[in-house]
Amino acid sequence: MQNKLVIIYSTVDGQTLKICNAITKQLKEHKQDVALFSVNDFNGDLNNYDKIIIGSSIRYGVHHKKIIEFINTHKPTLEAKKSVFFSVNLVARKPEKRTADTNPYVIKFFKKINWKPTLTECFAGKIDYKKYTFFDRIMIQLIMYMTKGPTNKDAEIEYTDWDQVKAFGLKLIDL
Ligand SMILES: Cc1cc2nc3c(=O)[nH]c(=O)nc-3n(C[C@H](O)[C@H](O)[C@H](O)COP(=O)(O)O)c2cc1C
């Protein structure tokens, strides 16, 4: 049986890509036929795939515009196939906000987009103040101050739970 997977992602500082790379490596180790594309580069035909996985990080409360456009453009195909969405954000550093039912961005996203993937996952991202512009750093520091996160301007903390990523990879195989 044909069983091809494609992962399409959007990232700014690279954490979503890091997660995608880990999943791709794991799937290949399990002899899965998997392809990985940035949403900016994908110009293939989704009909060539059986499982379509879409991942995006959050910036100021929203998933990337290109990802939302991609989903809207390909909705009929996504609905005809096994489809998966995952979100990467910092609110998910709190385990109680790391599921599709408890993460505020994921809840809001699905209220608007009118698409129900076969599987939805939510991963904690990374904070790396040194990479941010002055404005972004001040804003994230403020959000972290309000949500009891790290505010030290040199903080570089990866919250991603790699065991969760592995478990997700296995779920993709079984889907
Ligand atoms: C400018 C900026 C805005 C962000 N806004 C949010 C936000 O509104 N909520 C949140 O939970 N995380 C927010 N984050 C955290 C990112 O989602 C997190 O750092 C993630 O790991 C980024 O993934 P990426 O490197 O793939 O883009 C923001 C990060 C930056 C730099």
Q: How many residues are recorded in the chain? A: 175
Residue 67: pLDDT band (50, 70, 90) is very high
Q: What is the mean pLDDT of residues 96-117?
A: 95
Query: How far is 36 from 39, CA to CA, in rounded Å?
Result: 10
* Helix ranges restricted to H, 114-150: 134-146
Question: Cα separation of 173 and 175, whole Å?
Answer: 6
Which DSSP symbol is given to 131?
Answer: G
Q: Among residues of the chain, what percentage have pLDDT more than 90?
A: 97
Mean pLDDT of 130-149: 94
Atom of ligand 1 nearest to the CA of 160: 21
Please state the pTM of the whole predicted model.
0.96
* E-strand stretches of 49-138: 51-59, 62-63, 82-89, 119-124, 126-128
For residue 121, report the distance from its CA to the centre of ligand 1, in Å: 16
On average, the pLDDT of the chain sits at 96
Residue 131 pLDDT > 50, yes or no?
yes
Mean pLDDT of 84-110: 97
Per-residue pLDDT tens over the stretch 151-174: 999 999 999 999 999 999 999 999
At residue 2, does pLDDT exceed 70?
Answer: no
Ligand 1 binding pocket includes 78 (Cβ within 6 Å):
no
CB 126 within 8 A of CB 157: yes
Class level of CATH domain 4-125+160-174: alpha beta
Identify the band that residue 1 occupies on the pLDDT scale cut at 50, 70 and 90: very low
> Does the Cβ of 59 fall within 6 Å of ligand 1?
yes
Instruction: Report domain extents, the chain.
Output: 4-125+160-174, 129-159
Residue 85 CA to ligand 1 centre (angstroms): 17
Contact 15, 57 (CB under 8 A): yes
Q: pLDDT grade, residue 117 (50/70/90)?
A: very high
